[in-house]
Structure 1
Protein backbone atom coordinates (compact mmCIF):
# COMPACT_ATOMS: atom_id res chain seq x y z
CA UNK A 1 0.00 0.00 0.00
CA UNK A 2 1.88 3.05 -1.24
CA UNK A 3 1.27 6.31 -3.06
CA UNK A 4 4.88 6.56 -4.21
CA UNK A 5 5.15 8.62 -7.42
CA UNK A 6 1.38 9.21 -7.49
CA UNK A 7 0.25 12.78 -8.11
CA UNK A 8 -2.42 14.26 -5.86
CA UNK A 9 -4.33 17.47 -6.60
CA UNK A 10 -5.70 18.75 -3.29
CA UNK A 11 -8.02 21.73 -3.00
CA UNK A 12 -7.65 23.94 0.05
CA UNK A 13 -4.77 21.95 1.49
CA UNK A 14 -2.77 24.69 3.18
CA UNK A 15 -3.83 23.59 6.66
CA UNK A 16 -5.89 21.13 8.66
CA UNK A 17 -7.17 17.87 7.19
CA UNK A 18 -6.08 18.69 3.64
CA UNK A 19 -2.51 19.31 4.76
CA UNK A 20 -2.50 16.14 6.87
CA UNK A 21 -3.59 14.09 3.84
CA UNK A 22 -0.86 15.77 1.77
CA UNK A 23 1.84 15.02 4.32
CA UNK A 24 0.73 11.38 4.68
CA UNK A 25 0.94 10.93 0.91
CA UNK A 26 4.32 12.67 0.88
CA UNK A 27 5.65 10.11 3.37
CA UNK A 28 5.19 7.55 0.58
CA UNK A 29 7.04 9.75 -1.89
CA UNK A 30 4.02 11.22 -3.66
CA UNK A 31 3.78 14.39 -5.72
CA UNK A 32 1.30 16.83 -4.19
CA UNK A 33 -0.22 19.95 -5.73
CA UNK A 34 -1.80 22.26 -3.15
CA UNK A 35 -4.42 24.50 -4.76
CA UNK A 36 -5.53 27.07 -2.18
CA UNK A 37 -5.92 30.81 -1.84
CA UNK A 38 -3.80 31.49 1.26
CA UNK A 39 -0.48 32.94 0.15
CA UNK A 40 0.06 35.28 3.11
CA UNK A 41 -0.25 34.31 6.79
CA UNK A 42 -3.76 34.82 8.19
CA UNK A 43 -4.39 36.39 11.59
CA UNK A 44 -6.59 33.52 12.81
CA UNK A 45 -5.69 30.62 10.48
CA UNK A 46 -2.24 29.10 10.37
CA UNK A 47 -0.60 27.94 7.17
CA UNK A 48 -0.11 29.05 3.58
CA UNK A 49 0.40 27.17 0.32
CA UNK A 50 4.13 27.75 0.81
CA UNK A 51 4.33 26.42 4.37
CA UNK A 52 2.28 23.43 3.20
CA UNK A 53 4.77 22.84 0.38
CA UNK A 54 7.63 22.92 2.90
CA UNK A 55 5.88 20.32 5.06
CA UNK A 56 5.30 18.09 2.03
CA UNK A 57 8.93 18.29 0.93
CA UNK A 58 10.13 17.66 4.49
CA UNK A 59 7.96 14.54 4.66
CA UNK A 60 9.59 13.13 1.54
CA UNK A 61 7.30 14.20 -1.28
CA UNK A 62 7.44 16.70 -4.11
CA UNK A 63 5.27 19.79 -3.73
CA UNK A 64 3.67 22.30 -6.06
CA UNK A 65 2.05 25.27 -4.28
CA UNK A 66 -0.66 26.81 -6.46
CA UNK A 67 -2.41 30.07 -5.64
CA UNK A 68 -6.01 29.31 -6.57
CA UNK A 69 -9.41 30.70 -5.62
CA UNK A 70 -11.69 27.71 -6.17
CA UNK A 71 -14.53 30.03 -7.16
CA UNK A 72 -12.60 31.16 -10.24
CA UNK A 73 -12.70 28.55 -13.02
CA UNK A 74 -9.81 30.10 -14.92
CA UNK A 75 -7.58 29.85 -11.85
CA UNK A 76 -8.60 26.25 -11.22
CA UNK A 77 -8.05 25.26 -14.86
CA UNK A 78 -4.61 26.86 -14.78
CA UNK A 79 -3.75 25.05 -11.53
CA UNK A 80 -4.72 21.69 -13.03
CA UNK A 81 -2.66 22.34 -16.15
CA UNK A 82 0.36 23.42 -14.10
CA UNK A 83 0.09 20.19 -12.11
CA UNK A 84 -0.01 18.07 -15.27
CA UNK A 85 2.87 20.03 -16.77
CA UNK A 86 5.00 19.60 -13.64
CA UNK A 87 4.23 15.98 -12.77
CA UNK A 88 2.99 14.47 -16.03
CA UNK A 89 -0.59 13.78 -14.98
CA UNK A 90 -3.00 13.50 -12.04
CA UNK A 91 -3.75 10.23 -10.24
CA UNK A 92 -5.85 11.48 -7.34
CA UNK A 93 -8.20 14.40 -6.73
CA UNK A 94 -8.92 15.29 -3.11
CA UNK A 95 -11.85 17.69 -2.73
CA UNK A 96 -10.98 19.18 0.63
CA UNK A 97 -11.75 22.91 0.28
CA UNK A 98 -14.85 23.94 2.18
CA UNK A 99 -16.52 26.98 3.76
CA UNK A 100 -18.66 26.74 6.88
CA UNK A 101 -21.25 28.87 8.62
CA UNK A 102 -23.41 27.07 11.17
CA UNK A 103 -26.22 29.61 11.04
CA UNK A 104 -29.95 29.37 10.51
CA UNK A 105 -31.84 30.69 7.52
CA UNK A 106 -32.51 34.22 8.77
CA UNK A 107 -28.94 34.59 9.99
CA UNK A 108 -27.39 33.40 6.71
CA UNK A 109 -27.39 36.12 4.08
CA UNK A 110 -27.03 35.36 0.40
CA UNK A 111 -23.38 36.37 0.32
CA UNK A 112 -22.58 33.66 2.88
CA UNK A 113 -24.90 31.18 1.14
CA UNK A 114 -23.18 31.83 -2.17
CA UNK A 115 -19.71 31.51 -0.62
CA UNK A 116 -20.46 28.07 0.85
CA UNK A 117 -22.12 26.73 -2.27
CA UNK A 118 -19.51 28.23 -4.59
CA UNK A 119 -16.63 26.58 -2.71
CA UNK A 120 -18.23 23.39 -1.46
CA UNK A 121 -20.61 22.13 -4.12
CA UNK A 122 -19.58 24.12 -7.19
CA UNK A 123 -15.89 23.91 -6.36
CA UNK A 124 -16.05 20.14 -5.96
CA UNK A 125 -17.95 19.73 -9.22
CA UNK A 126 -15.58 22.05 -11.08
CA UNK A 127 -12.44 20.36 -9.73
CA UNK A 128 -13.84 17.03 -10.85
CA UNK A 129 -14.74 18.34 -14.27
CA UNK A 130 -11.19 19.61 -14.87
CA UNK A 131 -9.33 16.69 -13.29
CA UNK A 132 -11.36 13.74 -14.62
CA UNK A 133 -9.92 13.93 -18.17
CA UNK A 134 -6.49 13.41 -16.60
CA UNK A 135 -7.71 10.79 -14.12
CA UNK A 136 -8.94 8.73 -17.08
CA UNK A 137 -5.27 8.28 -18.07
CA UNK A 138 -4.11 7.19 -14.59
CA UNK A 139 -3.43 3.61 -13.54
CA UNK A 140 -5.48 3.66 -10.32
CA UNK A 141 -7.48 6.92 -10.32
CA UNK A 142 -9.34 8.11 -7.25
CA UNK A 143 -11.56 11.04 -6.33
CA UNK A 144 -11.88 11.49 -2.57
CA UNK A 145 -14.30 14.15 -1.31
CA UNK A 146 -14.44 15.25 2.31
CA UNK A 147 -18.19 15.21 2.67
CA UNK A 148 -20.78 13.38 4.75
CA UNK A 149 -22.91 10.29 4.17
CA UNK A 150 -26.24 11.11 2.52
CA UNK A 151 -28.40 10.76 5.62
CA UNK A 152 -31.45 12.84 4.75
CA UNK A 153 -32.93 13.43 8.19
CA UNK A 154 -34.27 16.91 8.98
CA UNK A 155 -32.04 17.18 12.07
CA UNK A 156 -29.01 17.65 9.82
CA UNK A 157 -30.64 20.51 7.90
CA UNK A 158 -32.79 22.47 10.32
CA UNK A 159 -30.02 24.21 12.33
CA UNK A 160 -27.91 25.27 9.30
CA UNK A 161 -29.69 24.44 6.07
CA UNK A 162 -27.38 26.51 3.84
CA UNK A 163 -24.25 24.75 5.07
CA UNK A 164 -25.92 21.35 4.89
CA UNK A 165 -27.00 21.94 1.29
CA UNK A 166 -23.43 22.89 0.39
CA UNK A 167 -21.89 19.82 2.05
CA UNK A 168 -24.48 17.38 0.75
CA UNK A 169 -23.93 18.78 -2.73
CA UNK A 170 -20.36 17.53 -2.46
CA UNK A 171 -21.65 14.10 -1.50
CA UNK A 172 -24.02 14.06 -4.45
CA UNK A 173 -20.98 14.50 -6.71
CA UNK A 174 -19.57 11.31 -5.19
CA UNK A 175 -22.84 9.48 -5.72
CA UNK A 176 -23.09 10.50 -9.35
CA UNK A 177 -19.45 10.16 -10.34
CA UNK A 178 -19.08 6.66 -8.89
CA UNK A 179 -21.57 5.39 -11.45
CA UNK A 180 -20.86 7.85 -14.27
CA UNK A 181 -17.17 6.93 -14.43
CA UNK A 182 -17.31 3.31 -13.31
CA UNK A 183 -16.44 2.03 -16.79
CA UNK A 184 -13.35 4.24 -16.87
CA UNK A 185 -12.26 2.75 -13.54
CA UNK A 186 -12.29 6.05 -11.64
CA UNK A 187 -13.20 5.56 -7.99
CA UNK A 188 -15.31 8.25 -6.33
CA UNK A 189 -15.69 8.07 -2.55
CA UNK A 190 -16.42 10.38 0.35
CA UNK A 191 -14.72 10.45 3.75
CA UNK A 192 -16.11 11.96 6.94
CA UNK A 193 -14.93 11.96 10.58
CA UNK A 194 -16.84 10.29 13.37
CA UNK A 195 -15.68 12.97 15.82
CA UNK A 196 -14.78 16.62 15.69
CA UNK A 197 -11.29 17.13 14.23
CA UNK A 198 -8.83 19.55 15.83
CA UNK A 199 -8.47 22.16 13.09
CA UNK A 200 -8.46 25.95 13.00
CA UNK A 201 -12.11 25.87 11.88
CA UNK A 202 -13.10 23.85 14.94
CA UNK A 203 -11.21 26.27 17.19
CA UNK A 204 -13.14 29.19 15.68
CA UNK A 205 -16.44 27.37 16.23
CA UNK A 206 -15.93 25.97 19.72
CA UNK A 207 -12.66 27.27 21.10
CA UNK A 208 -10.30 25.21 23.24
CA UNK A 209 -13.19 23.35 24.90
CA UNK A 210 -14.18 21.73 21.61
CA UNK A 211 -10.57 21.16 20.59
CA UNK A 212 -10.14 19.04 23.73
CA UNK A 213 -13.01 16.81 22.59
CA UNK A 214 -11.54 16.28 19.12
CA UNK A 215 -9.19 13.94 17.32
CA UNK A 216 -6.11 14.98 15.36
CA UNK A 217 -6.35 15.49 11.58
CA UNK A 218 -3.99 12.53 11.17
CA UNK A 219 -6.88 10.08 11.64
CA UNK A 220 -8.48 11.46 8.50
CA UNK A 221 -5.12 11.37 6.71
CA UNK A 222 -4.54 7.71 7.58
CA UNK A 223 -8.09 6.80 6.55
CA UNK A 224 -7.69 8.70 3.28
CA UNK A 225 -4.41 6.88 2.62
CA UNK A 226 -6.11 3.52 3.16
CA UNK A 227 -8.86 4.42 0.69
CA UNK A 228 -6.54 5.86 -1.96
CA UNK A 229 -4.40 2.71 -1.94
CA UNK A 230 -7.39 0.48 -2.74
CA UNK A 231 -7.99 -0.78 -6.31
CA UNK A 232 -10.18 1.92 -7.85
CA UNK A 233 -12.37 -0.52 -9.78
CA UNK A 234 -13.15 -2.46 -6.62
CA UNK A 235 -13.86 0.36 -4.16
CA UNK A 236 -16.11 3.17 -5.33
CA UNK A 237 -19.36 4.86 -4.34
CA UNK A 238 -18.72 4.56 -0.61
CA UNK A 239 -19.42 7.09 2.12
CA UNK A 240 -16.72 6.27 4.63
CA UNK A 241 -16.25 7.15 8.30
CA UNK A 242 -12.61 7.60 9.31
CA UNK A 243 -12.25 5.15 12.20
CA UNK A 244 -14.42 2.53 10.47
CA UNK A 245 -12.01 2.57 7.52
CA UNK A 246 -9.06 2.09 9.86
CA UNK A 247 -10.86 -0.59 11.89
CA UNK A 248 -11.49 -2.52 8.69
CA UNK A 249 -7.79 -2.12 7.90
CA UNK A 250 -6.90 -3.84 11.18
CA UNK A 251 -6.44 -0.94 13.61
CA UNK A 252 -7.88 -1.38 17.09
CA UNK A 253 -6.33 1.38 19.21
CA UNK A 254 -7.37 4.94 18.33
CA UNK A 255 -6.13 6.61 21.51
CA UNK A 256 -3.12 8.09 19.74
CA UNK A 257 -5.40 10.29 17.66
CA UNK A 258 -6.83 12.20 20.64
CA UNK A 259 -6.01 15.91 20.31
CA UNK A 260 -5.44 15.93 24.07
CA UNK A 261 -3.56 12.76 25.06
CA UNK A 262 -5.45 10.58 27.49
CA UNK A 263 -8.93 11.83 26.54
CA UNK A 264 -11.33 8.85 26.80
CA UNK A 265 -13.18 7.90 23.62
CA UNK A 266 -16.45 8.48 25.46
CA UNK A 267 -15.61 12.18 25.92
CA UNK A 268 -14.98 12.91 22.24
CA UNK A 269 -17.66 14.95 20.49
CA UNK A 270 -19.44 13.26 17.59
CA UNK A 271 -19.33 15.28 14.38
CA UNK A 272 -22.31 16.50 12.37
CA UNK A 273 -23.96 14.19 9.83
CA UNK A 274 -22.81 10.87 11.36
CA UNK A 275 -25.67 8.41 10.69
CA UNK A 276 -27.19 6.56 13.61
CA UNK A 277 -26.40 3.22 11.99
CA UNK A 278 -22.65 3.90 11.79
CA UNK A 279 -20.96 0.81 13.29
CA UNK A 280 -19.84 1.15 16.89
CA UNK A 281 -16.27 0.00 17.32
CA UNK A 282 -14.73 -2.05 20.11
Structure 2
Protein backbone atom coordinates (compact mmCIF):
# COMPACT_ATOMS: atom_id res chain seq x y z
CA UNK A 1 0.00 0.00 0.00
CA UNK A 2 1.19 3.52 -0.76
CA UNK A 3 -0.25 7.04 -0.69
CA UNK A 4 -0.69 7.60 -4.40
CA UNK A 5 -3.80 9.72 -5.01
CA UNK A 6 -4.56 9.79 -1.27
CA UNK A 7 -5.51 13.19 0.16
CA UNK A 8 -3.82 14.39 3.35
CA UNK A 9 -4.91 17.41 5.35
CA UNK A 10 -1.87 18.41 7.42
CA UNK A 11 -1.98 21.22 9.96
CA UNK A 12 1.19 23.25 10.42
CA UNK A 13 2.64 21.82 7.20
CA UNK A 14 4.54 24.90 6.05
CA UNK A 15 7.72 23.75 7.81
CA UNK A 16 9.27 21.19 10.15
CA UNK A 17 7.73 17.81 10.82
CA UNK A 18 4.47 18.67 9.05
CA UNK A 19 6.30 19.59 5.86
CA UNK A 20 8.52 16.49 6.11
CA UNK A 21 5.43 14.25 6.31
CA UNK A 22 3.92 16.10 3.36
CA UNK A 23 7.05 15.64 1.25
CA UNK A 24 7.24 11.92 2.07
CA UNK A 25 3.64 11.47 0.94
CA UNK A 26 4.24 13.61 -2.15
CA UNK A 27 6.90 11.15 -3.34
CA UNK A 28 4.03 8.70 -3.89
CA UNK A 29 1.97 11.28 -5.79
CA UNK A 30 -0.34 12.18 -2.88
CA UNK A 31 -2.58 15.23 -2.63
CA UNK A 32 -1.61 17.52 0.23
CA UNK A 33 -3.63 20.30 1.84
CA UNK A 34 -1.13 22.55 3.62
CA UNK A 35 -3.15 24.09 6.43
CA UNK A 36 -1.01 26.67 8.21
CA UNK A 37 -0.94 30.34 9.15
CA UNK A 38 2.22 31.47 7.37
CA UNK A 39 1.36 32.91 3.95
CA UNK A 40 4.19 35.48 3.84
CA UNK A 41 7.80 34.97 4.99
CA UNK A 42 8.33 35.14 8.75
CA UNK A 43 11.42 36.97 10.05
CA UNK A 44 12.46 34.05 12.29
CA UNK A 45 10.85 30.97 10.71
CA UNK A 46 11.60 29.68 7.25
CA UNK A 47 8.83 28.46 4.97
CA UNK A 48 5.32 29.49 3.97
CA UNK A 49 2.32 27.56 2.71
CA UNK A 50 3.35 28.62 -0.81
CA UNK A 51 6.98 27.49 -0.55
CA UNK A 52 5.75 24.19 0.89
CA UNK A 53 3.34 23.77 -2.02
CA UNK A 54 6.16 24.38 -4.49
CA UNK A 55 8.34 21.73 -2.82
CA UNK A 56 5.48 19.22 -2.83
CA UNK A 57 4.68 19.75 -6.49
CA UNK A 58 8.36 19.63 -7.49
CA UNK A 59 8.56 15.98 -6.41
CA UNK A 60 5.29 14.79 -7.89
CA UNK A 61 2.61 15.64 -5.36
CA UNK A 62 -0.40 17.90 -5.72
CA UNK A 63 -0.71 20.76 -3.25
CA UNK A 64 -3.43 23.05 -1.97
CA UNK A 65 -2.08 25.95 0.10
CA UNK A 66 -4.61 27.12 2.70
CA UNK A 67 -4.26 29.88 5.29
CA UNK A 68 -5.70 28.24 8.39
CA UNK A 69 -5.55 29.08 12.08
CA UNK A 70 -6.68 25.91 13.85
CA UNK A 71 -8.16 28.08 16.63
CA UNK A 72 -10.74 29.41 14.16
CA UNK A 73 -13.68 27.02 13.86
CA UNK A 74 -15.06 28.59 10.69
CA UNK A 75 -11.66 28.67 8.98
CA UNK A 76 -11.04 25.00 9.79
CA UNK A 77 -14.45 23.89 8.56
CA UNK A 78 -14.06 25.91 5.36
CA UNK A 79 -10.55 24.54 4.73
CA UNK A 80 -11.72 20.95 5.25
CA UNK A 81 -14.64 21.48 2.88
CA UNK A 82 -12.40 23.17 0.29
CA UNK A 83 -9.90 20.32 0.45
CA UNK A 84 -12.60 17.68 0.00
CA UNK A 85 -14.11 19.57 -2.93
CA UNK A 86 -10.74 20.19 -4.58
CA UNK A 87 -9.38 16.65 -4.32
CA UNK A 88 -12.60 14.65 -4.11
CA UNK A 89 -12.39 13.69 -0.45
CA UNK A 90 -10.01 13.39 2.51
CA UNK A 91 -8.25 10.17 3.44
CA UNK A 92 -5.84 11.27 6.16
CA UNK A 93 -5.74 13.99 8.80
CA UNK A 94 -2.40 14.83 10.40
CA UNK A 95 -2.75 16.95 13.54
CA UNK A 96 0.70 18.50 13.63
CA UNK A 97 0.07 22.16 14.55
CA UNK A 98 1.28 22.89 18.06
CA UNK A 99 2.40 25.74 20.29
CA UNK A 100 5.18 25.38 22.85
CA UNK A 101 6.29 27.25 25.95
CA UNK A 102 8.58 25.34 28.31
CA UNK A 103 7.85 27.65 31.23
CA UNK A 104 6.90 27.03 34.83
CA UNK A 105 3.64 28.26 36.32
CA UNK A 106 4.90 31.66 37.46
CA UNK A 107 6.45 32.38 34.07
CA UNK A 108 3.44 31.27 32.01
CA UNK A 109 1.05 34.11 31.34
CA UNK A 110 -2.57 33.20 30.67
CA UNK A 111 -2.41 34.41 27.07
CA UNK A 112 0.29 31.80 26.36
CA UNK A 113 -1.63 29.17 28.36
CA UNK A 114 -4.75 29.80 26.28
CA UNK A 115 -2.74 29.77 23.05
CA UNK A 116 -1.32 26.31 23.78
CA UNK A 117 -4.69 24.90 24.81
CA UNK A 118 -6.41 26.42 21.77
CA UNK A 119 -3.89 25.21 19.20
CA UNK A 120 -2.83 21.90 20.70
CA UNK A 121 -5.82 20.28 22.38
CA UNK A 122 -8.74 22.26 20.98
CA UNK A 123 -7.21 22.43 17.48
CA UNK A 124 -6.74 18.66 17.38
CA UNK A 125 -10.33 18.08 18.53
CA UNK A 126 -11.73 20.63 16.07
CA UNK A 127 -9.85 19.31 13.04
CA UNK A 128 -10.77 15.72 13.87
CA UNK A 129 -14.42 16.68 14.25
CA UNK A 130 -14.50 18.66 11.00
CA UNK A 131 -12.75 15.94 9.01
CA UNK A 132 -14.84 13.08 10.38
CA UNK A 133 -17.61 13.02 7.72
CA UNK A 134 -15.00 12.86 4.95
CA UNK A 135 -12.88 10.25 6.71
CA UNK A 136 -15.94 8.04 7.18
CA UNK A 137 -16.29 7.99 3.39
CA UNK A 138 -12.61 7.16 2.74
CA UNK A 139 -11.29 3.70 1.85
CA UNK A 140 -8.45 3.59 4.39
CA UNK A 141 -8.92 6.55 6.73
CA UNK A 142 -6.32 7.64 9.28
CA UNK A 143 -5.91 10.36 11.88
CA UNK A 144 -2.33 10.79 13.07
CA UNK A 145 -1.58 13.24 15.88
CA UNK A 146 1.91 14.39 16.80
CA UNK A 147 1.66 13.95 20.55
CA UNK A 148 3.34 11.91 23.29
CA UNK A 149 2.48 8.70 25.13
CA UNK A 150 0.26 9.28 28.15
CA UNK A 151 2.90 8.73 30.82
CA UNK A 152 1.39 10.24 33.95
CA UNK A 153 4.50 11.03 35.96
CA UNK A 154 4.92 14.26 37.89
CA UNK A 155 8.33 14.86 36.30
CA UNK A 156 6.66 15.64 32.95
CA UNK A 157 4.29 18.18 34.53
CA UNK A 158 6.29 19.97 37.20
CA UNK A 159 8.73 21.92 34.95
CA UNK A 160 6.10 23.10 32.42
CA UNK A 161 2.66 22.05 33.54
CA UNK A 162 0.77 24.24 31.04
CA UNK A 163 2.60 22.85 28.01
CA UNK A 164 2.30 19.27 29.24
CA UNK A 165 -1.44 19.62 29.76
CA UNK A 166 -1.80 20.95 26.21
CA UNK A 167 0.29 18.15 24.63
CA UNK A 168 -1.32 15.40 26.71
CA UNK A 169 -4.69 16.84 25.71
CA UNK A 170 -3.83 15.98 22.12
CA UNK A 171 -3.00 12.44 23.23
CA UNK A 172 -6.29 12.18 25.10
CA UNK A 173 -8.02 12.94 21.80
CA UNK A 174 -6.20 9.95 20.33
CA UNK A 175 -7.22 7.75 23.25
CA UNK A 176 -10.88 8.71 22.99
CA UNK A 177 -11.28 9.03 19.25
CA UNK A 178 -9.58 5.71 18.54
CA UNK A 179 -12.41 3.97 20.37
CA UNK A 180 -15.18 6.33 19.28
CA UNK A 181 -14.24 6.11 15.59
CA UNK A 182 -13.44 2.37 15.58
CA UNK A 183 -16.97 1.66 14.37
CA UNK A 184 -16.20 3.66 11.22
CA UNK A 185 -12.93 1.87 10.48
CA UNK A 186 -10.89 5.04 11.11
CA UNK A 187 -7.41 4.50 12.53
CA UNK A 188 -6.50 7.06 15.20
CA UNK A 189 -2.91 7.05 16.47
CA UNK A 190 -0.28 9.32 17.98
CA UNK A 191 3.37 9.53 16.93
CA UNK A 192 6.19 10.99 19.02
CA UNK A 193 9.97 11.19 18.46
CA UNK A 194 12.42 9.18 20.54
CA UNK A 195 14.87 12.06 20.31
CA UNK A 196 14.64 15.80 19.85
CA UNK A 197 13.83 16.84 16.28
CA UNK A 198 15.53 19.74 14.51
CA UNK A 199 12.66 22.12 13.74
CA UNK A 200 12.36 25.89 13.65
CA UNK A 201 10.44 25.81 16.93
CA UNK A 202 13.23 23.88 18.66
CA UNK A 203 15.89 26.17 17.22
CA UNK A 204 14.00 29.26 18.40
CA UNK A 205 12.84 28.05 21.81
CA UNK A 206 15.57 25.52 22.74
CA UNK A 207 18.71 26.35 20.73
CA UNK A 208 21.01 24.15 22.81
CA UNK A 209 18.67 21.21 22.31
CA UNK A 210 18.65 21.77 18.53
CA UNK A 211 22.31 20.79 18.22
CA UNK A 212 21.42 17.32 19.53
CA UNK A 213 18.29 16.91 17.37
CA UNK A 214 17.61 14.49 14.56
CA UNK A 215 16.24 15.37 11.15
CA UNK A 216 12.42 15.61 10.79
CA UNK A 217 12.75 12.94 8.09
CA UNK A 218 12.70 10.22 10.74
CA UNK A 219 9.23 11.31 11.83
CA UNK A 220 8.10 11.47 8.21
CA UNK A 221 9.34 7.96 7.49
CA UNK A 222 7.64 6.61 10.63
CA UNK A 223 4.40 8.43 9.78
CA UNK A 224 4.49 6.93 6.29
CA UNK A 225 4.71 3.41 7.73
CA UNK A 226 1.68 4.04 9.95
CA UNK A 227 -0.42 5.77 7.30
CA UNK A 228 0.07 2.98 4.77
CA UNK A 229 -1.20 0.27 7.14
CA UNK A 230 -4.78 -1.05 6.97
CA UNK A 231 -6.77 1.32 9.17
CA UNK A 232 -8.83 -1.39 10.86
CA UNK A 233 -5.67 -3.14 12.02
CA UNK A 234 -3.80 -0.26 13.63
CA UNK A 235 -5.56 2.15 15.97
CA UNK A 236 -5.24 3.50 19.49
CA UNK A 237 -1.44 3.40 19.53
CA UNK A 238 1.12 5.85 20.88
CA UNK A 239 3.98 5.18 18.51
CA UNK A 240 7.62 6.19 18.91
CA UNK A 241 9.35 6.95 15.60
CA UNK A 242 12.39 4.70 15.99
CA UNK A 243 10.27 1.82 17.30
CA UNK A 244 8.09 2.04 14.19
CA UNK A 245 11.08 1.87 11.86
CA UNK A 246 12.84 -0.89 13.81
CA UNK A 247 9.67 -2.97 13.51
CA UNK A 248 10.13 -2.64 9.73
CA UNK A 249 13.65 -4.05 9.99
CA UNK A 250 15.55 -0.75 10.04
CA UNK A 251 18.75 -0.72 12.10
CA UNK A 252 20.75 2.16 10.63
CA UNK A 253 19.58 5.62 11.70
CA UNK A 254 22.70 7.55 10.79
CA UNK A 255 20.94 9.41 7.98
CA UNK A 256 18.83 11.20 10.59
CA UNK A 257 21.72 12.09 12.94
CA UNK A 258 22.16 15.65 14.29
CA UNK A 259 23.97 17.91 11.84
CA UNK A 260 26.35 18.95 14.61
CA UNK A 261 27.64 15.41 14.97
CA UNK A 262 26.46 15.30 18.59
CA UNK A 263 24.62 12.35 20.04
CA UNK A 264 20.88 12.78 19.74
CA UNK A 265 19.18 13.66 23.03
CA UNK A 266 16.03 11.90 24.18
CA UNK A 267 12.95 14.02 23.71
CA UNK A 268 10.58 15.05 26.47
CA UNK A 269 7.80 12.66 27.55
CA UNK A 270 9.64 9.43 26.69
CA UNK A 271 8.46 6.83 29.24
CA UNK A 272 11.18 5.29 31.41
CA UNK A 273 10.73 1.80 29.96
CA UNK A 274 11.30 3.09 26.42
CA UNK A 275 14.26 5.25 27.45
CA UNK A 276 15.85 2.21 29.13
CA UNK A 277 15.76 0.25 25.87
CA UNK A 278 17.84 2.89 24.14
CA UNK A 279 20.25 3.66 26.98
Question: TM-score band, normalised by the shorter chain?
Answer: over 0.9
Contact 1:199 1:217 in 2 (8 A): yes
Q: CA deviation at 1:245?
A: 0.2
CA deviations 1:36-86 (Å, max 9, x no partner) are 110111111000000010111012100000001111111111100110110
Equivalent residue of 1:214, what SS?
coil
Q: Which runs of 4+ in 1 moved over 4 A?
A: none
| Other-structure match for 2:247 | 248
| Other-structure match for 1:181 | 181
| Other-structure match for 1:228 | 227
Q: CA deviation at 1:206?
A: 2.6
Q: Quote the Cα distance in structure 2 between the aligned partners of 1:86 and 1:201.
A: 31
Q: Quote the Cα distance in structure 2 between the aligned partners of 1:63 and 1:21.
A: 13
CA deviations 1:112-167 (Å, max 9, x no partner) are 00000000000000000000110000000000000000000000000000000000
Q: Quote the Cα distance in structure 2 between the aligned partners of 1:148 and 1:28.
A: 27
Q: Spell out the pairing of 1:207-226 with structure 2 (5 A cutoff).
A: 207=207, 209-226=208-225
Figure out how many residues of one structure are paired with residues of the other and give that number. 278
| Other-structure match for 2:12 | 12
Q: Quote the Cα distance in structure 2 between the aligned partners of 1:206 and 1:75.
A: 31
Q: CA deviation at 1:210?
A: 2.4
TM (normalized to structure 2)?
Answer: 0.97
Contact 1:193 1:271 in 2 (8 A): yes
Q: Does 1:3 align with 2:10?
A: no
Q: CA deviation at 1:281?
A: 5.3
| Other-structure match for 2:112 | 112
Q: CA deviation at 1:212?
A: 2.2
- RMSD, aligned α-carbons: 1.2
Q: Quote the Cα distance in structure 1 between the aligned partners of 2:209 and 2:156.
A: 19
| Other-structure match for 2:57 | 57
Contact 1:255 1:261 in 2 (8 A): no
Q: Quote the Cα distance in structure 1 between the aligned partners of 2:104 and 2:197.
A: 23
TM (normalized to structure 1)?
Answer: 0.96
Q: CA deviation at 1:188?
A: 0.2
CA deviations 1:195-242 (Å, max 9, x no partner) are 0000111111232x4222110000000000000001100000000000
Unaligned segments of structure 2, at least 5 residues: none
Q: Quote the Cα distance in structure 2 between the aligned partners of 1:65 and 1:22.
A: 12
| Other-structure match for 1:280 | 277
* 1:270 aligned residue (258, 266, 269): 266
- Name whichever of 254-263 and 153-162 sits farther off: 254-263
Q: Does 1:32 align with 2:32?
A: yes
Q: Spell out the pairing of 1:19-168 with structure 2 (5 A cutoff).
A: 19-168=19-168
Contact 2:171 2:190 in 1 (8 A): yes
Equivalent residue of 1:47, what SS?
coil
Q: Quote the Cα distance in structure 1 between the aligned partners of 2:206 and 2:17.
A: 17
- Name whichever of 23-32 and 209-218 sits farther off: 209-218
